[in-house]
Amino acid sequence: MKKIGVVGGGHVGATTAQRLAEKELCEEVVLIDILEGVPMGKALDQWQSAPVELFDTRITGANDYAAAEGAEMFIVTAGKPRTPGMSRDDLVSANVNIVKSVSEQIKKVAPDSIVIVVSNPLDVMCYVAKEVTGFPKERVVGMAGILDTARFRAFLADAADVSVEDIQAMVLGGHGDSMVPLISYTNVSGIPITKFVGAEDLEAIVKRTRGGGGEIVKLLGTGSAYYAPSAGAVQMADAIIKNKKRILPCSSWLEGEYGMKDLFVGVPCKLGENGVEKIIEVDLSTDEQAALVKSGEAVKEVMDIVNL
């Protein structure tokens, strides 16, 4: 890939740019922010790590989207993060206008690009990006499920005393407190997780996963997580750029899948060169299906207050 635009040069955006470059996933990363000087300064600093980290990806910074003209992919991280006591949904009024203006610019300079949204409230910001760009559903996708699943996997690996690499899991639903970790699809190298972790511990891990973002917000005091979120966004970029056809939990536009339509919610997606190439519908227990629909309803409630 030649060019990726990363919009928002804050914690998530700058870390994403650095990870993209260190993996040499494209020839140029353009870091865009409204702050004067900041994206240029960060990009210069990051580019100067190239001779040490050994990458040839060029990182540039800009305030103007002209620098990202023709980019094949955008990763949107612009917007306010949470502060202690806030839910992701509390960010909606501040971030709708930001993601709206970002999407208008993307549409202008790169009408054929694939957009990975990270800004919160995630599922609703995906909706804003899709509506404003007018891009087909395959080309607008949100990062949240990989992060929620990574948190779940990390906690499980710890409890089971096994490598994180061997934990397979999937957290579906909206990126909020109603997310749905699928215990029945969670395993250690194919062996059911229940062989390794008892019911009580599993329940505690599900609870900690649901509050995983909030736990970090509270500890940081200002701002929210960015190392794991940027890793999640870059894993999606990697799957798309290399046409890997990976099955990853991503926020995707539903048109009847899982009994829901006209909203973004986290579901298992096949990611390849065309973006979201397929939504995989897995069998869910009655409780899981009900929890997923409830999570979708929570997303809809916030969507309903958005005026585009």
Instruction: Give residues in contact with ligand NAD (CB under 6 A).
Output: 7-13, 32-35, 77-82, 91, 95, 98, 101-102, 118-120, 122, 143-144, 147, 175, 223-226, 229
Nearer to ligand NAD, 81 or 296 (CB): 81
Query: Is the preceding omega at residue 121 within 30 degrees of 0, hence cis?
Result: yes
Nearer to ligand NAD, 41 or 273 (CB): 41
Q: Under 8 Å CB-to-CB from 214, ≥6 apart: which residues?
A: 82
**Minimum CB separation from ligand NAD for residue 8, in Å?**
3
**Minimum CB separation from ligand NAD for residue 181, in Å?**
15
Nearer to ligand NAD, 110 or 160 (CB): 110
Q: Under 8 Å CB-to-CB from 60, ≥6 apart: which residues?
A: 28, 29, 30, 31, 40, 43, 47, 67
Question: Which residue, judged by CB position, is nearest to ligand NAD in the bound state?
Answer: 10
Nearer to ligand NAD, 91 or 254 (CB): 91
Nearer to ligand NAD, 144 or 284 (CB): 144
**Are the C-beta atoms of 60 and 34 separated by less than 8 Å?**
no
**Minimum CB separation from ligand NAD for residue 285, in Å?**
26
75 vs 14, 207, 232, 251, 255, CA distance in Å?
A: 11, 29, 11, 14, 24
Strand intervals (E) in the chain: 3-7, 28-32, 58-62, 73-76, 114-117, 140-142, 167-168, 171-172, 180-181, 187-188, 191-192, 246-255, 261-272, 275-279
**Are the C-beta atoms of 179 and 173 separated by less than 8 Å?**
yes
Examine the residue annotation and report whether 11 is marked as an active-site residue of this protein: no
Active-site residue among 175, 196, 197, 234? 175
**Minimum CB separation from ligand NAD for residue 175, in Å?**
6
**Minimum CB separation from ligand NAD for residue 42, in Å?**
9
237 vs 126, 171, 232, 298, CA distance in Å?
A: 16, 19, 9, 27
Nearer to ligand NAD, 144 or 193 (CB): 144
**Minimum CB separation from ligand NAD for residue 97, in Å?**
8
**Are the C-beta atoms of 150 and 164 separated by less than 8 Å?**
no
| Helix residue ranges per DSSP H, 110-144 | 122-133
**Are the C-beta atoms of 29 and 58 separated by less than 8 Å?**
yes
Q: What's the rounded Cα separation, in Å, for the pair 214 and 129? A: 25
Catalytic site positions: 175
